[in-house]
Structure 1
Amino acid sequence: MIRGLNNREEDIAQYILDVQLPAYRVEAELIGYDDIPPLRDTVDTIRNSKETFVGYFIEQELAGFISYESADDAIDLCRMVVHPGYFRRGIAKRLLAYVLADAASSKKVTVSTGARNEPAKSLYRGFGFVLAKELEVAPGLSLAFFELDRRGQEDHNIV
């Protein structure tokens, strides 16, 4: 089941963090860079985030979530997180499809990921995102920036 998460509530923020930290540790290992900002998040930084959080639940357990910031004609996907215990079950794909069909319909959508994170890059390409640029943001860390321009489009066939 997919539903919104109120990250301003302390227990929900802790729940989000309990899923985020192990997931981003895997990404840090995958991209060879262990100081990625999501690993420095705390309950307070999650609670104070202006992002909209949407969670994927399996039997009342938060298995993953996506978060985004929205403007009039654009959505910036901020976090795509699946707990390692739930990898390879299509959760990220379902969360992305949900946001693209709901909040991001008829908008430009942007997202970034570690340039060496091939699973994430493959996911985004599978939804029609195109690589806009790669940028070294810190010594040893390059990010890949993707865009999907859905303005003026109606898409009812998102997987």
Structure 2
Amino acid sequence: MIGKPSMFASRRVPVISHSWICHRRKPRNPCQISKPFFASIQVNYGTGLNMLTIERALPQDAPAILALQRLAFQSEAALYNDWSIPPITQTLEALLEEFSAGIILKAIAEGQLVGSVRARCHDGLCEVGRLIVHPAFQRRGIGSRLLRAIEGQFPAVTRFELFTGSKSESNLRLYQRAGYRIAQTKSLSPAVSITYLEKRANPAG
């Protein structure tokens, strides 16, 4: 996923209200998140049964997530011959700001950080971004599990949206298998185009 300076613009996350008026509940906030997330999932890596843990990342995880992000996106930078893409050049300060703008999940296996994904919501739309898996742990279902986990954090949204480079065929296959459909493609330069994908969701409740 490349090309956008930041997946999180300067939008404010709506405040969640649980107040009651005249014994009638207010309409559910479509951006209300689910309860704190933690899941341990058994994953077969081919060399035995290992445990993959997906949980909410904290600001202190930011340096490790940023390092993994830069590693994971090297293949994208090479594909487009562009080492100035935002996932490579993002600063630690910019990443730390995203913790207050949305949700960041991390995946832990064999005692190390192997993946991450983040998302934020506005007006019933959940924007998913920076889905990353350590190159040594790819093609083991971790990306799909991270994607399902971050979607599960926003049970009341009406639509999910994400984007990736138009040449990133493996990313496109992953998202389409997860139910996403291509919505539009935008050209950023003669060499780079971005494909936006979306998936409709049925809000809970």
**Shorter-chain TM-score tier:** 0.7 to 0.9
Instruction: Say which one has the larger Rg.
Output: 2
Tell me the CA shift for residue 13 of structure 1.
1.1
- The 5 A counterparts of 1:99-114 are 99-104=150-155, 106-114=157-165
CA contact (8 A) 1:3 1:56 kept: yes
The TM-score with structure 2 as length reference comes to: 0.68
In the other structure, the counterpart of 2:143 is 92
CA distance in 1, matches of 2:190, 2:156: 36
Tell me the CA shift for residue 106 of structure 1.
4.4
Q: Name the structure, 1 or 2, with higher relative contact order (CA <8 Å, separation 6+).
A: 2
In the other structure, the counterpart of 1:56 is 107
Q: What do you get for the CA RMSD once the two structures are aligned?
A: 1.9
Moved over 6 A (4+): none
Tell me the CA shift for residue 104 of structure 1.
4.8
Deviates more, 1:89-98 or 1:145-154: 145-154
- The 5 A counterparts of 1:61-140 are 61-104=112-155, 106-140=157-191
Q: Which amino acid aligns with 2:54?
A: I
Structure 2 spans left out of the alignment, 5+ residues? 1-52
In the other structure, the counterpart of 1:35 is 84
CA distance in 1, matches of 2:175, 2:117: 13
The TM-score with structure 1 as length reference comes to: 0.86
Tell me the CA shift for residue 138 of structure 1.
3.0
Query: Structure 1 residue 22 and structure 2 residue 74: aligned?
Result: no
CA contact (8 A) 2:54 2:105 kept: yes
Tell me the CA shift for residue 31 of structure 1.
3.8
CA distance in 2, matches of 1:95, 1:19: 15
Structure 1 spans left out of the alignment, 5+ residues? 155-159
Tell me the CA shift for residue 103 of structure 1.
1.9
Q: Percent identity?
A: 25
In the other structure, the counterpart of 1:44 is 93
